[in-house]
A and B are shown apart, each in its own frame.
Chain A
């Protein structure tokens, strides 16, 4: 029988704690959603929506609250992939795929690389600023203002329009060609600039 390598003991507590926390929150949510679906209160897309809603907000809270930067970056991945599910629910298949590719792939890897090239490798735990209570108050206030403003309005009761990738491509390269080219040039300039800024100054310094 194959002997499995035990995880380092410092992982024991976070894994047990995180697993218990996720289970304690996710199980009642699942039970409630499935019960509502069975009773007929909500439709199947809404079940998916509320699951994605929970994943996105839990990931976002993890991103801003966890003190270990690597954990925060991993938590961000959940949020970004949950948002791809939201795009699918909104009927935008191309944007959902672009979200998975650009954010789930590129941006996350870039951020993790950035963490590892700065001091995260030696000291991944950072403290927040002293302005934290103020930031908390502003965040709550902003959430309240936006929620009241959005939900106080009467919106037309229509469903989302499903837009296929082919239609999206036709409109994108037909009506918005100049904008696409401009974004291409912008990406080129930005990434060349990033390379220029990040590379070492003089070759003799980096050689030794």
Chain B
């Protein structure tokens, strides 16, 4: 039997790595990939808590499935936006698309 602490440790480290990626990267697609890492870390937490602490209630598992589905939608939409920005500006770096920054 694996103690739940192992999964929580994994999710904590994965979330921190993803957070570092979001802060440090310049390419929009790399930031998106780091966001995926953070979402995956949160999903591990949801499922670990649901499976260990309250398997009858099911809420964590359903929520994990929705996180997976909505992350897929988010990737599709974000890549559409990145393609659009790239076509307008010939660059997918977030610090070069700064027209909203006054």
Mask of B31-75 contacts with A, CB within 8 angstroms, 1/0: 011101100100110011001110100100110111011111111
Give the distance in Å from the alpha carbon of A158 to the alpha carbon of B65 in the complex.
23
Closest residue of A by beta carbon distance from B55: A161
Evaluate contact between A159 and B23: CB separation under 8 angstroms: no
CB distance from B38 to the nearest CB of A (A): 10
B residues in contact with A119, CB < 8 Å: 86, 90-92
User: In this assembly, does A151 line the interface, its C-beta being within 8 Å of a C-beta of chain B?
Assistant: yes
Give the distance in Å from the alpha carbon of A196 to the alpha carbon of B66 in the complex.
24
Evaluate contact between A171 and B58: CB separation under 8 angstroms: yes
Mask of A120-142 contacts with B, CB within 8 angstroms, 1/0: 10000011110110111011101
> Quick one: which of B1-50 are within 8 Å of A by CB?
1-21, 23-27, 29-30, 32-34, 36-37, 40, 43-44, 47-48
Give the distance in Å from the alpha carbon of A161 to the alpha carbon of B53 in the complex.
9
Range of interface residues on B (Cβ < 8 Å):
35 or more
Mask of A142-167 contacts with B, CB within 8 angstroms, 1/0: 11001100110001111111010000
Q: How many residues of A contact B (CB 8 A)?
A: 84
The answer to whether A138 and B23 touch (CB under 8 A), given A110-B75, A161-B55, A172-B65, is: yes
Closest residue of B by beta carbon distance from A92: B47
A residues in contact with B65, CB < 8 Å: 95, 98, 172
Evaluate contact between A197 and B47: CB separation under 8 angstroms: no
| B interface SS class | helix
| A interface SS class | helix
Closest residue of B by beta carbon distance from A61: B17
Give the distance in Å from the alpha carbon of A105 to the alpha carbon of B72 in the complex.
11
Closest residue of B by beta carbon distance from A151: B5
Q: A residues touching B (Cβ–Cβ < 8 Å)?
A: 43, 45-46, 49, 53, 56-57, 60-61, 63-64, 69, 72-73, 76, 79-80, 83, 86-87, 89-92, 95, 98-99, 102-103, 106-107, 110-111, 113-115, 117-120, 126-129, 131-132, 134-136, 138-140, 142-143, 146-147, 150-151, 155-161, 163, 168, 171-172, 175-176, 179, 183, 186-187, 190-191, 193-198, 200
